[in-house]
Chain A
Amino acid sequence: MTSVITVPPSLDDHTFEQVVEQLASVPHDAKLLVDARHTRWASPYGLTALLTLGQTREERASFAVPEAEETASYWARTGFFTHAEEIYDLHGSVPKARGGESSVLLEITQVAKSEDVHEVVGRIQQKAQLILSKELNIDAKATVGFAMTLSEICQNIIEHAGRGGFVAVQTYTYRKRLANRRVVVIAVCDAGCGFRQSLESAPGFVRNDRWDDAAALEAAVIRGVSRFRDPGRGQGLAGVRRYIGRWDGKVSVRSGTAKIAIVPSWDDDVPLAEKLAPFPGSQVQVTIPERVSGGPRQ
C-alpha cells in the first residue's frame, strides 16, 4: 500500500510541519507518494525541504507535481525538478525550465563538498549585491556578510550532516508580516544526522537528563558549541547571528524534533519549539528584510 502525503497549498517553513506530521506515522521503507498537485506556492525552504524528504526514504518515493501550470513552471525555473527527478519518480506534467527567474538569486543547488560552497558563493555575489542594494535598500557592503552567512550555513551541511543537502536563495514580498516589504531568504536543508547526533559524536560527550534536540540546538546555535574540541569552531553560526541582528533579520534552525529561532520584532514565531514531529537532518532559514531607513542597527 502506498502512503500519501499531501503537500499544503502554500508551503513554507511553518506549513512544512503538516508534511512532517503526516510523515511521522509512515514507516521509512513504506511506499510513499508526495502529492503536491494542489500546491500553489512554495518558499525556498519548502522546496528544498521537499527534496530532503525524498532523500530520507529507503524506497524511492513518488511525487505528484503541481497541477497549476504557473506553479509548476515556477518550480521548474527554481531548479526544483532537476533535482526532484533524481530523487523521486515524478508524476504529472513537468515543464521545461525556460529562462531564469528574476526573483531567484540562487536556484536550488546541491551542496555536498567544499567546492560546492565556492560555487554557490561565487555565483551569488554579483546578483546579491544588486538585489540587496536596489530592492532591499541595504548597503551594498552588506553583500559580503550575506555571502559569508550563506557560506557558513552551507558548510554546516558538509561538516555535520554526513550527506549532501540543498540550498536556495530567493527574494519575495512579505505582504502580511511586513506590509509589502521585500525580503531575501536563504534556505539550506539536509537529511543528514542532525545537530543532536553531531554533538553527541564530540569526544568526551556526556549526556544529561535534559539532553534532546532542543538542547542540542540551543548549544550549537546560541552558545556556539561544536563537536570539535578546536576552540576556533562554532564561529560560523555566531557570525550568522551577528549578521542577522545587524540587519533585523531572522534565522531559524530545525533539527530532529525541535526548532530554534532568533526572532525579530516583525515576526511572531516562537524562539523554541519542541516536541515537533521528527524529521532527519537540519533545515535552516535566514530572512533579511528590506530596510525602511538607513544602515544597520547599532
Chain B
Amino acid sequence: MMHIDLSSMLRQTLSCELYSNLVTRPTGAAVRTQIEALLADSRERSLTVIDFSHVGMIDFSCADEVVAKLLLHYVAAERADREAYFLFRGVTDDHWDAIETVLERHGLALVLETDDGARIVGMVNDGERIAWEKVYELGRAGAADLATALGSRPDDAARMLDTLHRRRLLMRLDDGYIAVGGLGEAHA
C-alpha cells in the first residue's frame, strides 16, 4: 500500500515550505501529475492512501484536479492493465465542501477512512451504499455471499459487485471482492 501525504507533495510541487493549502488549478494539476507518476511505477493492482491530514484547506479548482480527475483517470477508463484504488485519509469539514462538490459534478464516489473504519461518500445510490457496507462488513464476499446477506438474486448481486468494482470502491480478488478500506487493504 502506498501512502501519499498531500501536504508534503504540495510543498515539493511548489518548492515552498510555507504553504499548506491546496489552492489553484495549476497546483492541483501538478500534484495529481506527481501522484500519477508514482502510480505509473506501481503493480497492476495498487491501493494508495491519499492523506489530507496536514492540508489546511482545498478549493474547488484544486479538488477538481487532485480528487476528481485522479479518480476519473482510473475509474472512467477500462484499464485492464492496472487497477488503482484510493482510500482518502484525514478529510475534515475544511476539505469536504470542495470534495463533495467535485464528486457531485462528475458523478463520482470515494472511500473515506474514518475513526471507526471506512465509508463511501459522494454519488452513490442506496443500493450501492448498502451493498458496499455489506461487503465491508463481510470482509470478503462473492456474489452468492452478497445475495444471501442482502436477500437478493445472485445475478443482481454479481452486477452490483461489478458496478462497485468498476467505480473502484471494491477491489476484485481471485476469490471475491473486498471493500477499499476494508480487511483486504493489507494485501494490496
Contacts and interface: CB of A to CB of B under 8 A. Distances in A.
A235 B105 contact: yes
Interface string A139-155: 00100110110011001
Nearest to A120: B23
B97 interface: yes
Interface stretch (A6-14, A93-101, A111-119, A261-269): A111-119
A118 B68 contact: no
Contact of A155 (B14, B20, B24): B24
B134 interface: no
B78 interface: no
Given A148-B98, A231-B105, A236-B59, A118 B24 contact: yes
A148 B21 CA distance: 10
A158 B59 contact: no
Contacts of B102: 232, 235
Contacts of A159: 25
Contacts of B18: 122
Interface string B20-39: 11011111000000000000
Contact of B105 (A118, A144, A148, A232): A232
B84 to A, nearest CB: 19
Given A232-B106, A235-B105, A148 B26 contact: no
Nearest to B96: A144
Interface in A239-273: 239
Contacts of B94: 141, 144
Given A148-B57, A155-B61, A232-B69, A118 B25 contact: no
Contacts of A180: none
Contacts of B177: none
Given A114-B27, A118-B27, A236 B60 contact: yes
Interface of A: 114-115, 117-118, 121-122, 125, 141, 144-145, 147-148, 151-152, 155, 158-159, 231-233, 235-236, 238-239
Interface of B: 14, 16, 18-21, 23-27, 56-57, 59-61, 64-65, 68-69, 93-94, 97-98, 101-102, 105-106
